[in-house]
Chain A
Amino acid sequence: MAKIVIVGAGFAGHYAALVLQDALKGRGNHEITVISRVPKFTYIPSLVWVGIGQMRAEETQFDLKPVYDKLGINYIHGTVVEVHPDPEDQYVVVNLPNGQTQNVKYDYVLIATGPYLNFPAVEGLGPEKGYTQSICTPPHATEASSKYLELVHKLEKGERAKIIIGTGHGLATCQGAAFEYICNIHNDLVDRGLRDRVELMWLSNEPALGDFGIDGLETKYKGNIFTSEDMVRYVFEQYGIRWEIRSHVRKIEEGKVHTLNLDGEEKEFEFDFAMLIPPFKAQPIKWIDKDGNDITSKVCNPAGFVKVDANYGKPYDELDGPDWPRKYQNPIYKNVFAAGIAFAPPGPLSKPGKAPDGTPIGPTPPRTGYTAELSGKAAALNIVDMIEGREPSHTASMAETPGLCVASMKNKILDGEAATIAIFPVARNRAAYPEYGRDLDNCAAEVGMAGAWFKLFLHYAFLYKLQAKPGWKLIP
């Protein structure tokens, strides 16, 4: 009997639990335990609608325990603070909500914790101790909605306002979520007849518009190479959104953002409402060896993300598809896997830059949503391989798998719009596709109502699938 512990229950961890349970059904008396600090699964892509008051946070969530009870998976509500990976006695230490700790033994562990939202990295960033909003968690999105609707109320009385949306640090990621938010805000203000009272500004660390942390994308159309930069520039021109890119946020005061850009220019922008995505780092988990030594720096990268089977240490210009991890297995402890945001990427997807004073400015790689699911699935199936005495054989490299993204711009059935984006593969792979690093015949980017339908369909399809309802395995 094998004991498998999954730490985290987001896209990677929760989907891995479902895949593991299904793959091990009838193949021995194995024990799967999921440990999550949040007792609910949240479909994060829909938080953009929560953030403008068009959806309640509860509509993006479901309770994990009933799903795990149905499937025979153990569930512990708690926060993993230590992993003891040495073979003699392998266990994780969990802080429980009642203040007690619990040690949970494992034969295989999958770390899929998602990010720690690093608001303290920038003075004044974030809704708790700062002056900006976030849509990264249900409570944050709900608070953002409340602040946004307060502003709308002022606009209705005839006031004017400045809104800034984007990234709140030179190394932030998830530009796509911020893009969705600014587009939804624009369209909401248009529908309310208030758009002419608002200056909307996009502030981001991207080296170019439409980079999205994935080095942008190209598609072929009638002999033209059409890029995501062309698309986003056009959309912002149509929407009357001004932009300031290649920028790090130095600090935020009440109503004012201080930035530094790649040319070394320091600027200030005033705002009445701002939503800035924070930088991510790993959830704080210590790795302890059998002698009690802290070996976190051996197992993880400096940000705390778990090292897996990637080629680390290459400069950006030399990094290519084969350097990205395929099996999500730790090279030191072979029974340790990491998936989703928790695995350490070998480098950025977008070209990194530095301001003249050395401040790094450039998106870190997104590995959320579908990419997280695929890495979680590969790790889960590799654990099954090892339980049954085989070498891990399942792969889901970001340089060999597609990125599928539908960026909502307006959530209406008969009047909505969204940018539908497909890339193959996510990470440029010049070894396989020498010219662009991607197969342009499989890349697509377009704006239209069809995307809005997809976005809504994906919301319901994923929430159905991830509750393991009848036929869930048919939904990829």
Chain B
Amino acid sequence: MANGKRELMDKMWNVRKNIFVQLFRAVVLGLHFWKLVRKVH
């Protein structure tokens, strides 16, 4: 895996259980899912 990608994965892995980061990601991913769902409903 290229260094840039490994750094990205390391970063994602290190915050995967950080409650504040994950609350923020839940909102971002929730909005993303909603946007995609609205395309087909």
Chain A residues within CB distance 8 Å of chain B: 221-224, 226, 230-231, 233-234, 238, 374, 396, 401-402, 404, 414-415, 417, 420, 422, 424, 442, 444, 446-451, 453-454, 476
Q: Are B12 and A448 in contact (CB under 8 A)?
A: yes
B6 to chain A: closest residue by CB: A234
B22 in complex: contacting residue of A401, A442, A448, CB < 8 Å: A448
Q: What sequence of 0s and 1s flags, for each residue 1-41 of chain B, a beta carbon within 8 Å of any chain A beta carbon?
A: 11011101100110111010111011001101101111111
B23 to chain A: closest residue by CB: A450
Q: Are A424 and B36 in contact (CB under 8 A)?
A: yes
- What would be 22 A-B contacts, judged by CB atoms less than 8 Å apart? A221-B8, A222-B4, A226-B8, A230-B1, A234-B6, A234-B9, A234-B13, A402-B37, A415-B17, A424-B39, A446-B12, A446-B29, A448-B15, A448-B17, A449-B19, A450-B22, A450-B23, A450-B29, A451-B29, A453-B22, A453-B26, A476-B37
On whether A224 and B5 interact (CB within 8 A), knowing A402-B37, A448-B25, the answer reads yes
Q: Are B30 and A422 in contact (CB under 8 A)?
A: no
Q: Are B41 and A476 in contact (CB under 8 A)?
A: yes
Complex: A230 Cα to B12 Cα, angstroms: 12
Complex: A238 Cα to B8 Cα, angstroms: 14
A374 to chain B: closest residue by CB: B40
Q: Give, as a whole number of angstroms, the nearest-CB distance from B39 to chain A.
A: 7
Cβ contacts under 8 Å, A234 to chain B: 1, 6, 9, 13
Q: Give, as a whole number of angstroms, the nearest-CB distance from A245 to chain B.
A: 16
Complex: A233 Cα to B5 Cα, angstroms: 12
On whether A231 and B40 interact (CB within 8 A), knowing A444-B29, A454-B29, A454-B30, the answer reads no
Q: Are B25 and A446 in contact (CB under 8 A)?
A: yes
A450 in complex: contacting residue of B13, B25, B36, CB < 8 Å: B25
On whether A449 and B8 interact (CB within 8 A), knowing A230-B1, A422-B33, the answer reads no
* Extra 16 A-B pairs, beta carbons < 8 Å, given A402-B37, A446-B25: A222-B4, A223-B4, A224-B5, A230-B5, A238-B13, A374-B40, A402-B39, A404-B36, A422-B36, A424-B39, A442-B36, A444-B29, A447-B13, A448-B22, A451-B29, A453-B26
Chain A to chain B: the 5 pairs with minimum beta-carbon distance, closest first: A450-B26, A402-B36, A449-B22, A448-B16, A450-B25
On whether A444 and B39 interact (CB within 8 A), knowing A234-B1, A449-B22, the answer reads no
Q: Are A404 and B37 in contact (CB under 8 A)?
A: yes
Cβ contacts under 8 Å, B19 to chain A: 414, 449
Q: Give, as a whole number of angstroms, the nearest-CB distance from B29 to chain A.
A: 5
Q: Are A447 and B12 in contact (CB under 8 A)?
A: yes
Complex: A453 Cα to B25 Cα, angstroms: 11
Complex: A182 Cα to B27 Cα, angstroms: 28
Complex: A476 Cα to B33 Cα, angstroms: 11
Q: Give, as a whole number of angstroms, the nearest-CB distance from B7 to chain A.
A: 9
Q: Give, as a whole number of angstroms, the nearest-CB distance from A151 to chain B.
A: 27
Cβ contacts under 8 Å, B26 to chain A: 450, 453-454
On whether A230 and B9 interact (CB within 8 A), knowing A224-B4, A448-B25, A449-B19, the answer reads yes
Q: Are B1 and A233 in contact (CB under 8 A)?
A: yes
Complex: A449 Cα to B33 Cα, angstroms: 16
Cβ contacts under 8 Å, B40 to chain A: 374, 396, 401-402
Cβ contacts under 8 Å, B33 to chain A: 404, 422, 454
Cβ contacts under 8 Å, A417 to chain B: 16-17
Cβ contacts under 8 Å, B6 to chain A: 234
Q: Give, as a whole number of angstroms, the nearest-CB distance from B36 to chain A.
A: 4
Cβ contacts under 8 Å, A444 to chain B: 29, 32
Complex: A454 Cα to B36 Cα, angstroms: 15
Among A224, A446, A447, residue most surrounded by chain B Cβ atoms (within 10 Å):
A446
Complex: A153 Cα to B21 Cα, angstroms: 37
Q: Give, as a whole number of angstroms, the nearest-CB distance from B4 to chain A.
A: 5
Complex: A444 Cα to B32 Cα, angstroms: 9
A400 to chain B: closest residue by CB: B40
Q: Give, as a whole number of angstroms, the nearest-CB distance from B5 to chain A.
A: 5
B16 to chain A: closest residue by CB: A448
Q: Give, as a whole number of angstroms, the nearest-CB distance from A69 to chain B.
A: 27
Complex: A223 Cα to B2 Cα, angstroms: 13
Cβ contacts under 8 Å, A446 to chain B: 12, 25, 29
Cβ contacts under 8 Å, A374 to chain B: 40
Complex: A238 Cα to B29 Cα, angstroms: 24
Cβ contacts under 8 Å, B13 to chain A: 234, 238, 447
Cβ contacts under 8 Å, A231 to chain B: 9
Q: Are A422 and B17 in contact (CB under 8 A)?
A: no
A449 to chain B: closest residue by CB: B22
Cβ contacts under 8 Å, A223 to chain B: 4
Complex: A230 Cα to B10 Cα, angstroms: 12
